[in-house]
Structure 1
C-alpha cells in the first residue's frame, strides 16, 4: 500500500533514513529541513515523490502553513512523523535562559504545534497515524539531561492525551522510544551548557562525555529502528509506545518499576487526605 508521509527533520539521522527507506519502497514523502540543499540528492533522485519544505520548528507561526503546503503537494497525508529535535545537556543550573527556551520551543512546543496542524488533514483523510519520536529519556531521567527530559516527558503526556482524543476519527498515535542509536544525533545533534566548576565530579557532569561523541558501545542500529517505525504503521490498533533497543527497554522498565514502587507504598497515607 502506497502512503503519503510528512516527516520533519529529514536532513540527517532518523529523518533522513526514514525518507530514504520510504522513497525506496515507493511511498511519497514531504520532508521538512532548515536547509533545502541538505537533501538536494534525494530531490534529484525521486522527483515529485519527494517534496521539500523549509521549516525551523522554533518558528511556530509557520508550522501550520508548511503542513498545509505539504498536504497540498502530496494530495493528502496518511502518516505524520514528528522527528525533528535535538539534545541539550548540562545541569539545570548550568544552562542559559536562551538554551532553556530554545530546547522547549524546538522539542516540545514545535512538536505540539506540528501535531495540532496535522490532525485536520488526517481527519479529512478518514484516519491515519502520528508517530512522535521521543526517547527512553521520555520515561527515564538522568542527571545532566533535565531540560531534554522535560521536553520528552512533556511531549509524551501530550501524545497520550491526544491519542484518546483522536481515536474516534481512526487516527492512531505512537510514541517512538529509541535507546542509543548510531545516528548523526550525536555529537552534531547535541548541545551543551557551559560547565560550572561546582558540578565537576557530580553525576550531572557525566553528560559532558557526549561532547566527545558519547560513550562507546552504542548498540542501536538506526536503519533497523527506522524499519520498525515504518512497520508499526501497519499494526492495528496503533501501539501507544514503540520501544526500540534493549537499552531503552532496560532503562524504561527500571524507571517505571521504581516509580510504581514509590507510589504503592503511599496508599494508606494518600487515603488519609480524603474528606
Structure 2
C-alpha cells in the first residue's frame, strides 16, 4: 500500500464509523465516508477538504452500493482499506418483532455488509490487495434476550466473513472480523428500532434493562487506534476482539459453551456422525 492510504468507511457519520474516519484522517490518509445522512460530516469535511469525501449511501440498496463504491474508488484513485461498519439495532423479544422490522434490520446489518464486500473486492484486487474489516460484535457468538436479531445479523456476517477470508486471501486481500465491545455509539438510541412490547415479557424486559444499566460504554474514539493499527498490519488476524473487558467476556462465554458441550458429551456420542 502507499503511505497515504484510501479508506472507505460505511456508517461514518456517527459512533465508531466517525471515530475511525477521524483517526484515519489524523494519520494523513484519505477517507470516503459513507452514510445515509452525511450532514453530520460537514464540519469534518471543512477540516479535511482534500482528504475527506462524504458519500450518501443506503447499504440496504444493492445497486446503490455498487454505484457508490464506483464513485468512492474514483474519488481518490482506488481503495486500500474498507471498513464495513454500517449497522442498526432492533431491540425487543423475538416474538414481538414484525416481518418488516426483521427484514429491514437484516437488510442493513447483514445484506448491506455483503453488498459492500461484493462491490469492493474488484477494486481491492486491482490494487494488488487490501484490507476488509468486517465490524461485528463481541456478542455475535451467541444470542441474548432483547437483542436476538442484532446478534443474528452479526453472527451471519461472522460466518460469511470467515468464508470470504479464505476465498480472497490468494488475491492479497486480508479480511478481519472485528468483534467490537460496547462503546457509546448511540446504537441504543438514534440507531434503534424498538418492537411493540408484549405484556407477557414484562418481567424479563425489566430484568434485561437492569442488566444493561446506564453505562453507555467508553467513547468510540478509544477504539480507533486499535483499528488503525490493525489496518496497518502486514499479516492481520482473521478475528480480533476490540475492548479489554469484552475480551474477558468473550473468553468466558467460550468456556461456558465448552463446559455445556462436555456436560452432554455422553448424549452427543450416541450418534456416529
Structure 1, unaligned stretches of length 5 or more? Answer: none
Structure 2, unaligned stretches of length 5 or more? Answer: none
Q: Distance in 2 between matches of 1:200 and 1:33?
A: 35
Q: Compute the displacement of 1:206 (Å).
A: 4.1
The corresponding residue for 1:261 is 259
The corresponding residue for 1:152 is 154
The corresponding residue for 1:220 is 218
Q: Distance in 1 between matches of 2:216 and 2:186?
A: 13
What is the RMSD computed on CA atoms of the aligned residues?
2.0
Deviation sequence 1:70-121 (CA, Å, 0-9, x none): 0011101000000110111110011111111111000000001111111111
- Which of 156, 165, 172 is residue 167 of structure 2 equivalent to? 165
Q: Compute the displacement of 1:44 (Å).
A: 2.1
Q: Distance in 2 between matches of 1:85 and 1:8?
A: 9
Q: Distance in 1 between matches of 2:105 and 2:73?
A: 27
SS class of match (2:13): coil
Deviant stretches of 4+, over 6 Å: none
SS class of match (1:80): strand
The corresponding residue for 1:240 is 238
Q: Compute the displacement of 1:267 (Å).
A: 5.2
The corresponding residue for 1:59 is 61
The corresponding residue for 2:123 is 121
Counterpart mapping for 1:194-205 below 5 A? 194-202=196-204, 204-205=205-206
Q: Distance in 1 between matches of 2:207 and 2:129?
A: 44
CA contact 1:180–1:247 (8 Å) conserved in 2: no
SS class of match (1:176): strand
The corresponding residue for 2:249 is 251
Counterpart mapping for 1:6-45 below 5 A? 6-45=8-47
Counterpart mapping for 1:43-192 below 5 A? 43-192=45-194
Change (3 A) 1:205 1:104: farther
TM-score by length of 2: 0.92
Q: Compute the displacement of 1:36 (Å).
A: 2.8
Q: Distance in 2 between matches of 1:261 and 1:127?
A: 40
CA contact 1:145–1:207 (8 Å) conserved in 2: no
TM-score by length of 1: 0.91
Q: Compute the displacement of 1:20 (Å).
A: 1.4
Q: Compute the displacement of 1:146 (Å).
A: 0.9
Q: Distance in 2 between matches of 1:236 and 1:267?
A: 41
SS class of match (1:134): strand
